[in-house]
A and B are shown apart, each in its own frame.
Chain A
């Protein structure tokens, strides 16, 4: 199998705090993978370490066989795009201006966008269903619209690999499904490799071919939804009682929460 991105035994965190410990993780070209785990398990930190936005204290990341450390930030940004969790911004940029920023790594200093760049930005807006918002100001959009605009910006980078940090956390169920359907479509039709950090276990089960379950900064389990989303794994990591059923439509694992039960396991 051809790996697009390989993290080799990376550790790191903020200041003295080591959040991620000794994680080795690879993503194959063309896959749609999900990273799940409780709050503070290091999901977002792991993404930052893998893209070297946060410098790892140990280990390295290889991108298509090359050490990321030896690549320039611009080189990497032409291949890897990132949609951050927090998309609130305080400057009233127009939607098209935001999307066009995705072209930055493809432009030289003092080089203005050409017709081709505008066309790419427009296509990205078409794909994310944001073209009608083109001339709106970003701070007047709803959370769902804003999320799609930021995905459009990432697409304008024309990446091979797209990281998304909890893209559905501020969205209602309708928008959650629309955003994830879009990602699935991009993965299939544009063959973009996609890695999503998700909180919702059932969304992860439904959309991801492979799931990585993090706990306390290390990988607890990884594999297909069936392999990872077992009640043993979830109870051990999330410290809560669940029943794992099947989604009647897709026959993927479906996690049912059980309230008010103490966690006690039969020996």
Chain B
């Protein structure tokens, strides 16, 4: 059976609403649908609602960043952390903790670490007036490995108890410890996503080839710079509040290409929905499956995402 395009979008929309409903109902206390809006549950509902918003922001932001990098670098394995934001933010956070961080000092330091790292990766990859995709990828990988080494060195040579708290960073968490910070991050992610969407047609041309795009009058170096910056801002701000959540940014773009095709005009909004759905469902499972214990969300995304992706891959026989 082949679903028409319209049906696919409706299906995605319904799946999204189902995910939101599931996220609101399930938790340490199960709220039945009928009592969801009654006054006694208002505080719990608010808390879960905030967490769903957070999941949407994180899922959409990571998915859209993944799409942009995969298209610009023409590499199906590109994920949002490829440019070194995760290790940059990690190092920033470790330094902040070792120096004795205040409430906003830690996320700020992580954010700066991520941005500095991306700029460094870009500068290493630059060859004259060009930044070839391959050298961008290589430079990203190398800088990440180097920084991870430094992080491990600092952590292992320090006796600071607080560094143990860094575990959540590695597998991610949607715990909201500051609403103001989350609003700021949401603003960055939404404007970054809008900026990337403005380049949807350029991404289409660039995913065919950089030269093709140039022949269509696209200033590919400028587009790359803008998109690297947009993805860096999105992932850096997300890393500050949710840690490193793998898999979403890599797999959702591929899944959505299976569903709606590679046209970025459609792929970007579809991936926002897809990323949000995967994050909400994963977070709900993480909160409830082993309650009262919480499973780190990165573990859940990997465990759900991998099999779903393998099924899609096997049924379609096409990588991208």
Contact = CB atoms under 8 A, between A and B. Distances in A.
A16 to B, nearest CB: 11
Contacts of A74: 217-218
B209 A89 contact: yes
B167 interface: no
Interface string B186-203: 000000000000110110
B216 A84 contact: no
Contacts, number: 75
B7 interface: no
Interface in B204-220: 204-205, 207-209, 211-212, 214-219
Nearest to B74: A90
Contacts of A86: 209
A98 interface: yes
Interface in B35-82: 74, 76
A101 B211 contact: no
B257 interface: yes
Contacts of B205: 101, 104
Nearest to B319: A90
A92 to B, nearest CB: 6
Interface in A66-99: 72-78, 81-82, 84, 86, 89-94, 97-98
Contacts of A102: 216
A178 to B, nearest CB: 23
Contacts of A78: 217
B262 A93 contact: yes
A104 B208 contact: no
A127 B199 CA distance: 30
Contact count band on A: 20 to 34
B257 to A, nearest CB: 7
Interface in B12-38: none
A232 to B, nearest CB: 36
B318 interface: yes
6 contacts: A90-B74, A92-B257, A93-B204, A94-B263, A104-B202, A107-B201
Interface of B: 74, 76, 129, 198-199, 201-202, 204-205, 207-209, 211-212, 214-219, 257, 261-263, 265, 318-320
Given A73-B218, A97-B204, A101-B205, 6 more contacts: A53-B214, A73-B217, A75-B217, A76-B217, A89-B208, A89-B209
Question: Across chains A and B, which 8 residue pairs bring their CB atoms closest together, nearest first?
Answer: A77-B217, A74-B217, A105-B217, A82-B215, A91-B262, A104-B216, A73-B217, A53-B214
